[in-house]
Structure formats: C-alpha cells, structure tokens
Amino acid sequence: MRRCLVAVLAVFSIVAFSSVTLRILMEDVPETHIIKELLPEFEAKTGINVEFEIVQYSDMHTKLVPQLMSPECQYHVLQVDNYWAGEFPAAGWLEPLDEYVKRDKFDLSVYLPSMLQMVGYYQGKLYMIPMYNYAMGLIYRKDVLEDESLKRKYREKYGRELSVPRTLEEYVQICEFIQANSDLYGSAMQAQRGDPIVMEWSNFLFALGGDYYDEKWRPRINDEKAIKATELYMRLLKNGAPPGATAFNLDDAFRVMSQGKAFSMISYNWMLAQLNDPEKSKVAGKVALEPMPGGVGLNGGWGWAIPKNSKYKKEAWEFIKWVESFEIAKRRALMGGAPTRFDVFTDEEVVQRYPWYPKVMWLVMYAKPVPEFLYSAQMIEIVGRELSLTATDQKSIKAALDTAAKELEKLAKMAGLLK
C-alpha cells in the first residue's frame, strides 16, 4: 500500500509540473552540451520541460541584467559566473537557497570549500550551488619536452635540462625557445580584449604573488609584482604566441592547440579532456596538466541560482537538485565535465577514465579567484581594456596599470569597501 501511495504521488507530481518549461541561459562550453544531452531524463522523471538558450560568454551578462531587473525574469534558472557572484546577490536579484537546502537535506559538505566560498555564499547567505569549475593551469605537450633535438639545443643554450617549467620566467623562456627552434608556437594564447586577456593574464599576476587589491581594498594592480607579471605576459605574447593572438578568444586558442600547432597553453583544466579526445584533437594522448608555473593560477567557476523574480522557483530547485545529484554529477564528469564535488573527483570510475582529476582537485582547492564584489564585471572590463591597449602597443605597461589602478580605486569606493 505504501509503494502504491508513493507511485500515485509521483504521478501527481509529474502531472503538476507537466505544463512548466524552464528556460535557462547557458554559456557555449562543453559542460552545457553535456547537460543538454541528459535533459530528457529529467523531463521524463519530473514532467518539467527545459529549454537551453546557448550563447557566447560575452553576451551573457548583457542578456541577464535587464531580465533580473524586470518584473518577471524570462530565465527560471541562472548559470552565474563567479565574476557576478558579488553583483547579483548584492543587487537583490537572487533567491536565497538556505531554506531549500535545509528542507530537502541537500548535502553541501560534498562540495570543495573553495567552490562554495567562491560561488556559493554572499554575506553569510547561500545564493548558489556550485555548478562547474574552471581553475586554470599549464597544459603542455609531453612529446615536445621529450624531443632529443630540442633537449640538446636547450642544454647547449641554457646549461640545464628542458623540462616542465617551475617558474613563470622559465615558462616564458621555454616558449620563446620552442617557437624559435621548431615549427610550433610556444603558447596558444587568448589575448582578446576583455574577459579572455584578463583571465589569462590573472594567472601571471597570481603566480608572482600579485593581486588586484590589498586587504584594505587599495589597488595593487600597478605595484612591482603586477608590472613584472605584465612584462612577462607581453613578452610571451610578442615572442611565443601565434600572430594575431591579440584577437584570440578561447575557441581560437583551442583550435591552435588541438591542431598540434603549439607547445602549451595557460587554460582551463577541463580543456585537457577535450584535447585528449581523438575526435576533437590531433594531440590526444600527448598533453598533460600542471599547476601554474611558480605558484597558484586563477580559480573560476559557475553556480546554479534562482532569480528572485522567477515564477517557477519550486521547479527550478527540482532541476538544481537533479543536475547536482551524485548520479548526474558523476555522469557529467565521465562525459568530460568539470566537477565541483569531492565524491566525484575521487570516484574510482571517474579517476580511471581521467587519471589527472586528483591533480585538478588540487588546482581547484588552491587556485585564487578574482575579487568578487558589486562591481567585479566593471573591474574586468577596465583591466581588459588597459591590457589590450598595452598588448597592441598603444600604451606603456606602467601607464596602463596606473590607469587601471585609479579606476579600480573608484569602484572600491563606490562599493563602500575602501578602508
């Protein structure tokens, strides 16, 4: 009788949800297409329909903000970048999730603390459930470092062995050497103005111990460490990257690397699974991942959220629970996704398929995010503009970073953070 009652309730639940269609704006990355492939299972289980609107990253913020400010948001579940993890809750646009988690005993302890801290909480309240990570590191060609001719030439020139670089200076030097002594580019860089160049450059900044702000929210982006990081970045762009890299985004950089035309790239860890896929890459089996030379790299990630002005909050939470369940999170990982949970990272089947995942977990745990506050998006826009001016020889490094520092100070004041 109890089983019959459960079955009846399940049927009623599906009927109740059957007229609901959740619309979700999603970035055009592998994780999105992985989840899209699994959606029919959720729809069959709940009766809730799901429509993904898939766009490039550069279009997401401008599409989301007007909807979040409107009386009713046309998107019922949000995919929120950590750049906006301070802006969206501060503006009052997100539904707090604490009561949902408590009611359904949703287990947050399975998530890496770095992910929950970055995209989960804002001022003590939970607004997002970690979705996927994009901590960055060094992806490189193992076979290139094992090339006997290159090893001999490098030894003769520098008096040491050609190996995985351990400092940022050594990485730039190796890329320059490989580009000058082979038919490969040293690094498949993504130096397009805006988000691409900021994402890549931030790894150089953090690897040298630099930062955007100090603990009192005074800009550090033009101090000695930032200047040195920018000098090394621009040197690599000039001497170790493909022509036209100042206009490259992630897709362009991936194309160069996957076609076997570059030694390395500073990129998102989940790119390794794509580069090791023979159907997508000519260098499958030849690439490996290491932490950012000299220190930690950039941490980044996305979280699931529910708009405050959505009419389908109950259904949105049902979707989040399903997509973040262990079963679905594990399957996403096995399909090449980017986990955020301890139990998925360490799952025997997942590690057997992707032996580098324990190293990725380390990257995610210790990588460093950009400052998250009300004006993070504007901060990225400013820094991206100034770096681009430097990369295209329209401004000196010092002048560009000084300008960025002045504008970042204004943002910190506007947010009431400057002490």
Q: Can you give the CATH number for the domain in which 62 is found?
A: 3.40.190.10
Q: What are phi and psi of 384, to 5 degrees?
A: -60, -40
Look up residue 321 and give its two tokens.
């629970």
What is the model's pLDDT at position 18?
Answer: 58
Look up residue 118 and give its two tokens.
């970055």
- Is residue 272 domain-shared with residue 171, that is, in the same domain? yes
Task: Write down which residue in 335, 366, 397 finishes a domain.
Answer: 366
Rounded distance between C-alpha atoms, residue 288 and residue 273, angstroms: 10
- Is residue 70 domain-shared with residue 16, that is, in the same domain? yes
At 324-359, the pLDDT tens digits run 999 999 999 999 999 999 999 999 999 999 998 988
Look up residue 31 and give its two tokens.
């994780």
**How many residues in total does the chain contain?**
419
Task: Write down which residue in 336, 366, 396 finishes a domain.
Answer: 366
- Strand, helix or coil for residue 249: coil
What is the model's pLDDT at position 19?
Answer: 80
Q: Where residue 111 falls among pLDDT bands split at 50, 70, 90? A: very high
- Is residue 93 domain-shared with residue 159, that is, in the same domain? no
What is the model's pLDDT at position 10?
Answer: 45
What is the model's pLDDT at position 17?
Answer: 56
Q: Where residue 371 falls among pLDDT bands split at 50, 70, 90? A: very high
- Is residue 228 domain-shared with residue 249, that is, in the same domain? yes
For residue 382, tell me if it sits in a domain: no
Rounded average pLDDT over 49-63: 95
Residue 33 in this model has a pLDDT that exceeds 70? yes
At 372-391, the pLDDT tens digits run 999 999 999 999 999 999 99
- Is residue 71 domain-shared with residue 121, that is, in the same domain? yes
What is the model's pLDDT at position 376?
Answer: 93
- Is residue 225 domain-shared with residue 311, that is, in the same domain? no
Task: Write down which residue in 290, 318, 336 finishes a domain.
Answer: 290
User: CA torsion sign, 181 to 294 to 286 to 265?
Assistant: negative
The count of domains in the chain is 2
- Is residue 72 domain-shared with residue 165, that is, in the same domain? no
- Is residue 223 domain-shared with residue 163, that is, in the same domain? yes
Residue 14 in this model has a pLDDT that exceeds 60? no
Rounded distance between C-alpha atoms, residue 55 and residue 32, angstroms: 10
The answer to whether residues 100 and 125 touch, using CB atoms and an 8 Å cutoff, is no
- Is residue 48 domain-shared with residue 67, that is, in the same domain? yes
- The rounded Cα 349 to chain-centroid distance in angstroms is 24
Residue 101 in this model has a pLDDT that exceeds 60? yes
What's the one-letter identity of residue 61? H
- Is residue 153 domain-shared with residue 20, that is, in the same domain? no
How confident is the prediction for the chain on average, in pLDDT?
Answer: 94
Share of the chain above pLDDT 90, in %: 91
Residue 13 in this model has a pLDDT that exceeds 80? no
For residue 221, tell me if it sits in a domain: yes
Rounded average pLDDT over 251-266: 97
Q: What are phi and psi of 191, to 5 degrees?
A: -105, 25
pTM for the complete prediction?
A: 0.88
**Cα–Cα nearest to 357, from 337, 375, 372:** 337
Rounded average pLDDT over 38-43: 98
Name the residue range of residue 278's domain. 136-290
For residue 409, tell me if it sits in a domain: no
Burial classification of residue 363, based on how many CB atoms lie within 10 Å of its CB (0-12 exposed, 13-18 middle, 19 or more buried): buried
Residue 16 in this model has a pLDDT that exceeds 80? no
- Is residue 235 domain-shared with residue 168, that is, in the same domain? yes
What is the model's pLDDT at position 5?
Answer: 47
At 148-159, the pLDDT tens digits run 999 999 999 999
- Is residue 53 domain-shared with residue 122, that is, in the same domain? yes
SS (H, E, C) 203-221: HHHHHCCCCCECCCCCECC
Residue 220 in this model has a pLDDT that exceeds 90? yes
- 412 vs 6, which has greater pLDDT? 412
For residue 407, tell me if it sits in a domain: no
Rounded distance between C-alpha atoms, residue 221 and residue 411, angstroms: 13
Q: What are phi and psi of 161, to 5 degrees?
A: -80, 150
Q: At CB < 8 A and 24+ separation, what contacts does 401-407 make? A: 401/221, 401/222, 401/226, 401/227, 401/230, 402/222, 404/219, 404/221, 404/222, 405/219, 405/221, 405/222, 406/219, 407/382
Q: Where residue 419 falls among pLDDT bands split at 50, 70, 90? A: confident
What is the model's pLDDT at position 166?
Answer: 95
